[in-house]
């Protein structure tokens, strides 16, 4: 019997000449997103100012001689860039600088995502999956989806996997256990300082494989030094929610390699499925947990048969519910703002 020829996946990366692009392209090409046996065709979309940088990356990609890289093309034409895309990573947009909040980016970046949504609608493959990384990611995903009437809205997602990974890392450090032993943490809401990192349904796996609830394990690890409630409110939640600003302050520019790693994780799990733990992703709300329909908000999600499904049946505590409501009203304000800027039709998604 002959082995079937693997199907080549076409991946479009916008902003490929930027910081995240440089950290992302080589990992996709090496097989980290779809596995080393799946050939990848990379289509790098840039604006003219970023073309040289993207072309330089294309030369380096050739020089890596990755077995799974089928081809690389660099273009500033969205029609060509999104042609036949099975996966579109919308990274291209301006990052915030020191002192800026994500809302400041709405006017700078919102206008990029309507035309890109329309180009995806017209040129991408029928099974296209879109991950918006460029900030403000949730509302940019909403804008892109609004301009792609033929693509099911659930194929547009926003990246909160970096926040999820940050939460896992903070918990693992506090418990002094490997990250792989932690599951079912949640990021709710917006990818902004209002996001809600939530450990209340989480677990940690011990050396014998048994799972313990995170609240219990963390309470024990904190000992008498502080209560779980004050650790969550004063240390964990602000650390995770403001980590983007911390990176900008320390590094002098916004997170790049960790953002690229999170994009790989998001698409990998979307395509290949989640296993014993859920993860977090910004997906179009179906009204679950009181999040108004149509908003792109972060939820606990499983991936089954190539589609994200929101984990149902959790009962967030009162404090978590109040924080989710605040983050969701920020998303509603962003939706209102982009409607008043003419970037989506008022009432879209409701």
162 near ligand NAD (CB under 6 A): yes
**Min dist. Cβ of residue 248 to ligand LMR (A):** 6
49 near ligand NAD (CB under 6 A): yes
159 near ligand NAD (CB under 6 A): yes
Please name the residues in contact with 336: beta carbons below 8 A apart, sequence gap of 6 or more: none
Query: Binding site annotation covers 62?
Result: no
If the CB atoms of residues 28 and 263 are measured against ligand LMR, the closer one turns out to be 263
Residue 134 binding result from ligand NAD, ligand LMR, none, given CB thresholds of 5 to 8 Å by partner type: ligand NAD
Query: Binding site annotation covers 166?
Result: yes
Q: Which backbone phi and psi does 331 adopt, to 5 degrees?
A: -65, -40
Q: What is the DSSP string of 171-183?
A: HHHHHTS-GGGEE
HSE-CB of 87 using CA atoms within 13 angstroms: 24
Please name the residues in contact with 308: beta carbons below 8 A apart, sequence gap of 6 or more: 154, 157, 270, 281, 283, 301, 302
Q: What is the DSSP string of 226-279?
A: S-HHHHIIIIIHHHHHTHHHHHHHHHSS---HHHHHHHHHHHHHHHH---SS-E
Contact with ligand NAD (CB under 6 A) among 10, 254, 285, 327: 254
**Min dist. Cβ of residue 36 to ligand NAD (A):** 25
- Residue numbers annotated as active site: 191
Q: Please identify, among the stretches 43-51, 120-128, 273-281, 338-346, the one whose residues bind ligand NAD according to the rule CB under 6 A.
A: 43-51
Report which of 14, 290, 10 is spatially closest to residue 137, judged by C-alpha positions.
Answer: 14
Q: Please identify, among the stretches 9-17, 168-176, 222-230, 267-275, the one whose residues bind ligand NAD according to the rule CB under 6 A.
A: 9-17
Q: Can you count the helices (H) and strands (E) in the chain?
A: 12, 14
Name the packing angle between helices 318-340 and 137-146 (round to 10°).
50
**Min dist. Cβ of residue 243 to ligand LMR (A):** 6
Residue 108 binding result from ligand NAD, ligand LMR, none, given CB thresholds of 5 to 8 Å by partner type: none
Binding site for ligand LMR (CB under 6 A): 95-96, 135, 162, 244-245, 247, 254-255
**Min dist. Cβ of residue 278 to ligand NAD (A):** 18
Q: What is the DSSP string of 112-165?
A: HHHHHHHHHHHHS-TT-EEEE-SSSHHHHHHHHHHT-TTS-GGGEEE--HHHHH
Residue 247 binding result from ligand LMR, ligand NAD, none, given CB thresholds of 5 to 8 Å by partner type: ligand LMR
Report which of 346, 337, 340, 347 is spatially closest to residue 138, judged by C-alpha positions.
Answer: 337
Query: Binding site annotation covers 135?
Result: yes
Q: How many CB atoms lie within 10 A of CB 296?
A: 31
Query: Binding site annotation covers 96?
Result: yes
Calculate the CA 179 to chain-centre distance.
19
Query: Binding site annotation covers 129?
Result: no
If the CB atoms of residues 44 and 320 are measured against ligand NAD, the closer one turns out to be 44
Q: Please identify, among the stretches 12-20, 204-212, 217-225, 300-308, the one whose residues bind ligand NAD according to the rule CB under 6 A.
A: 12-20
If the CB atoms of residues 10 and 19 are measured against ligand NAD, the closer one turns out to be 19
Enumerate the known binding-site residues for NAD(+).
15-21, 109, 116, 133-135
In the complex, the residues that contact ligand NAD under the rule CB under 6 A are: 14-15, 17-21, 45-47, 49-50, 91-96, 112, 133-135, 137, 159, 162, 191, 254-256, 259
């Amino acid at each position: 019997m002959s082995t079937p020829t693997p199907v080549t996946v076409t991946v479009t990366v916008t902003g490929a000449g930027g910081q995240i692009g440089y950290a992302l392209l080589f990992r996709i090409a090496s097989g980290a997103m779809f596995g080393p046996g799946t050939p990848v065709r990379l289509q790098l979309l840039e604006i003219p100012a970023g073309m040289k940088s993207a072309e330089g990356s294309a030369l380096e990609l050739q020089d890596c001689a990755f077995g799974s890289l089928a081809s690389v093309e660099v273009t500033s034409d969205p029609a060509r860039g999104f042609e036949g895309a099975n996966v579109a990573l919308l990274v291209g947009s301006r990052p915030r600088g020191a002192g800026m909040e994500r809302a400041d980016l709405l006017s700078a970046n919102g206008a990029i995502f309507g035309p890109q949504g329309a180009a995806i609608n017209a040129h991408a493959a029928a099974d296209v999956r879109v991950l918006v990384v460029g900030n403000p990611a949730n509302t940019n995903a909403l804008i892109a989806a609004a301009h792609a009437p033929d693509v099911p809205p659930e194929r547009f997602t926003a990246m909160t996997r970096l926040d999820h990974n940050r939460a896992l890392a903070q918990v693992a450090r506090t418990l002094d256990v490997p990250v792989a032993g932690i599951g079912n943490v949640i990021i709710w809401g917006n990818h902004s300082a209002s996001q809600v990192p939530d450990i209340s349904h989480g677990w940690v796996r011990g050396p014998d494989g048994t799972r313990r609830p995170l609240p219990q394990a963390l309470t024990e690890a904190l000992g008498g030094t502080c209560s779980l409630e004050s650790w969550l409110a004063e240390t964990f939640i602000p650390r995770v929610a403001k980590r983007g600003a911390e990176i900008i302050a320390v590094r002098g520019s916004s997170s790049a390699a960790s953002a690229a790693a999170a994009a790989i994780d998001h698409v990998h799990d979307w395509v290949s499925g989640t296993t014993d733990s859920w993860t977090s992703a910004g997906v179009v709300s179906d009204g679950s947990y009181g999040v108004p329909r149509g908003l792109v908000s972060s939820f606990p999600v499983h991936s089954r048969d190539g589609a994200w499904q929101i984990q149902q049946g959790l009962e967030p505590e009162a404090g978590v519910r109040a924080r989710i409501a605040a983050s969701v009203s920020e998303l509603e304000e962003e939706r209102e703002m982009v409607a008043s800027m003419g970037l989506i039709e008022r009432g879209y998604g409701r």
